[in-house]
Amino acid sequence: MAPEVEISVLTAVFVAAANSEADLAAALAKYVVLTRHLPGCRNVDLVISTTERGKFLVVQKWEGDRLARQHLNSEVMLDMASNVMALLLDKPVIDLWDSISAHDLH
């Protein structure tokens, strides 16, 4: 039996400035692809709100709190942040969660 892995969930909400939705979606999609290949990343999903125009949610699963926190200062994260800041209505809302019931397919 495989050892149990502690899963930490990192979320980030981004709201696009006027006329920036497509550019923000492209920058976030690139970030998601790059992040999926990082050590300790279990999965990353990018979704868009159906109730609030231009609102994006990135949901990441990491092998523990330490790796999730390290990612916040990683080159991939910092590069994404510098690419999207001008496209946002306001600062993104980023939060780190402990898993109660987060299914992991790995």
CATH code of the domain in which 41 resides: 3.30.70.100
- Residue 104 in any domain: the answer is no
- Residue 103 in any domain: the answer is no
- Residue 93 in any domain: the answer is yes
Task: Give the pLDDT score at 98.
Answer: 86
- Residue 19 in any domain: the answer is yes
> For the residues of 7-39, what is the DSSP string, one character each?
EEEEEEEEEBPTT-HHHHHHHHHHHHHHHHTST
Contact 44, 35 (CB under 8 A): yes
- Residue 63 in any domain: the answer is yes
Domain count of the fold of the chain: 1
Task: Give the pLDDT score at 62.
Answer: 95
Q: Provide the residue range defining the domain that includes 39.
A: 7-98
The reported pTM is 0.90
Per-residue model confidence as pLDDT tens for the chain (106 residues): 455 668 999 999 999 999 999 999 999 999 999 999 999 999 999 999 999 999 999 999 999 999 999 999 999 999 999 999 999 999 999 999 987 765 555 5
- Residue 54 in any domain: the answer is yes
Instruction: Judge residue 39's burial from the number of C-beta atoms within 10 Å of its C-beta, 0-12 exposed, 13-18 middle, 19 or more buried.
Output: exposed
